[in-house]
Amino acid sequence: MQGILAATEITASEDAEIYAQFITEELVVDEKGNVVSIFKDQKFEKGDLRAFDLDLKTELFKKSQGKSICRPVHRTYR
């Protein structure tokens, strides 16, 4: 989370409300670029996995085993 917040110039000491203000949409996409899950305006529009909750270490391990993986996409608007 700190990397995401740093990219939008938010410090880690600021609260989740500010995160929600700047990170307006979270997408989870598969290897082909298909949107698997959309979390927007604090609710799911599609699927049930938040990009924020995606475990990248697990996804990279799955890739090393030749399995399909998902990737997080965070959209920001100012």
Angle at CA of residue 9, ends 6 and 15, nearest 5°: 80
Distance (Å) of CA 59 to CA 5, 13, 51, 56: 22, 28, 12, 5
pTM: 0.74
What are residue 10's phi and psi, to 5 degrees?
Answer: -110, 135
Q: Which residue has the higher pLDDT, 13 or 63?
A: 63
Domain count, the chain: 1
End-to-end CA, the chain: 18
The string of pLDDT tens digits covering residues 43-73 is: 999 999 999 889 999 999 999 999 999 999 9
